[in-house]
Amino acid sequence: MFTSIAIIGRPNVGKSSLFNKLTKSRDAIVSDFSGLTKDRNYNFLKLKNKKTLLIDTGGIADSDESINNAISQQAWIAVQESSLILLILDGSEDLNKEDLDIIQNLRKLGKEFISVINKIDKKSNSNVKDDLFKNGIKSFFEISAEHSLNLSELISYLSEIVPETDIKESSDKKVAVLGRPNAGKSTFINSLIDEDRLIVSEIAGTTIDAISIPFEIDNEKFLFIDTAGIRKGYKYNHKIEYFSFVRAMHAIEKSDAVIFLCDANENIVDQDLKILNMIIEAGKPVLFVFNKIDLISKKELISLYTNKRMQSEFMQKIMKVEISAINKKGFKKVFKDINFLIEKSKENFSTSQLNKLLNKFVNASAPPSVAGRQLKFKHIHFAGTYPTTFIIHSNQDKKIPVNYKKYLENSFREELHLNSVQLRLIFRKSSNPFDGKKNKLSSRQTKKRQRLIKHKHKSNN
């Protein structure tokens, strides 16, 4: 019984397009540029009542460049992990040396593979089918992944050969790993799982897709999402870089918490603060991690914490940890803190607990007068998570001074241990329950009222 299906082939044959269509997702970046997929990308392929894991891989190419060799090696690891292979070929071109080398290697490994000729929508004089026959491959599927041509035939065939499985979609704690390029995100995850799962290079920007990696520690199951480094000016740069940013934002969206990695050698910069602000706006808890502390002195570490950006009110609300990803130092602290943040960000707070705290804070610092009227807070209740939201009812909503709002937020944050958890206070003006409601007089009271009115009129006359 196989556990997964790997999609392999040389660069730019349409592997990621097929992956997205089969998984009904946009997990893999698709572009006219070759070599975009660099790491293995996983998602579930649902086939009627069956489900299996599908792996998208980088293009296997003959090249002397170290990065291309690493991409090819990752693809072959995916082949080893899987029990069925989808070999994707470009139907608009003849088989070339790279295609033939892949076929030969698959046969050497004894791997069962299905040949899929993609891009049949393109007009060409390709001899790819004849080439396959000459190499002993007599059955294959002809599709256009981009236009979904003949995909149903491939899916139907896979439905027949994929056995019943009990694979369930992950309910693990999802943690996105963000930061600027070359902050050590992939090294961090590789060190965690003791495997060269992600490509690590001194070239900044090696990771483009957001890649998911399951991991377990102390009986706690996690799903780490390695994302592309977000560069300055990403909105105006090459479209691939912008797509990578969008993938990173999607990773934040589906995560339970975010680990933000910062290179301790480079200190915190404005771009770091912008990325952190994106995470905060998404309502997700964030753990700020200084990486590569093995490369700096104690004096330099103290200097990191005393600079103006780190001393800002913005950064004071965020929990911080120091690690060395390459030396595996500080990992226990990271897991302890990220676990705490996930649990705390999902916590529901009772109305009685919140009202006791609100009264405590108001008694400690009386609210000011607004437009000559004393500001009064009636009650508070819990309204949801991501971000943790409290609704406070008062006799004013729009005219509450900003400094008093901050005082209440900081007080709740400190008392409930919500540092690094996003907290939102919503102020609502309490309506008078008697507005628009008049006491209805009984028939006897109505008659008495009419008599009094008549009597008053007679007296006046």
Q: Mean pLDDT for the chain?
A: 81
Q: Per residue in 384-432, pLDDT tens?
A: 999 999 999 998 877 889 999 999 999 999 999 999 999 999 999 876 5
List residues bridging with 320 in a β-sheet.
288
CATH code at 173-345: 3.40.50.300
Q: Give me the architecture of the 348-461 domain, per CATH.
A: 2-Layer Sandwich (3.30)
Output the pLDDT for position 27: 56
Determine the Cα angle at 19 with ends 147 and 260, to 5°: 125
Please tell me whether residue 260 adopts helix, strand or coil conformation.
strand
pLDDT, mean of residues 361-378:
87
Residues 6+ apart with CB under 8 A from 375: 367, 368, 369, 394, 395, 396, 400, 404
- CATH 3.30.300.20-classified regions of the chain: 348-461
pLDDT, mean of residues 11-25:
86
Answer with the residue of higher pLDDT: 415 or 42.
415
Output the pLDDT for position 288: 95
Residues 6+ apart with CB under 8 A from 253: 282
- Are 7 and 57 in contact, with CB atoms under 8 Å apart? yes
Q: Per residue in 76-87, pLDDT tens?
A: 877 887 889 999
- CATH 3.40.50.300-classified regions of the chain: 4-161, 173-345
Query: E-assigned strands of 306-461?
Result: 319-322, 369-370, 373-374, 377-384, 388-394, 423-429
Cα distance between residue 89 and residue 97, in whole Å: 12
Phi, psi of 396 (to 5 degrees): -140, 155
Output the pLDDT for position 29: 47
Output the pLDDT for position 399: 82
DSSP letter, residue 385: T
Which of 413, 411, 432 shows the shortest CA–CA distance to 362? Answer: 411
Output the pLDDT for position 204: 40
3-state helix vs strand vs coil in the chain, percent to 5: 40, 20, 40
Strands 377-384 vs 388-394: parallel, antiparallel or unpaired? antiparallel
CA atoms within 13 A on the CB side of 385: 15
Per-residue pLDDT for 170 more than 60? no
Output the pLDDT for position 417: 94
CATH code at 4-161: 3.40.50.300
- Are 328 and 296 in contact, with CB atoms under 8 Å apart? no
Each residue of 69-104: b (16+ CB within 10 Å) or e? Answer: ebbbebbbbbbeebebbbbbbbbbbebeebbeebbe
Output the pLDDT for position 461: 62
Q: What is the pLDDT confidence band of residue 247, given thresholds at 50, 70 and 90?
A: low
Query: E-assigned strands of 170-230?
Result: 173-179, 211-217, 220-226
Q: What is the pLDDT confidence band of residue 35, given thresholds at 50, 70 and 90?
A: very low
Phi, psi of 213 (to 5 degrees): -135, 115
Q: What is the pLDDT confidence band of residue 1, given thresholds at 50, 70 and 90?
A: very low
**What does the chain come to in residues?**
461
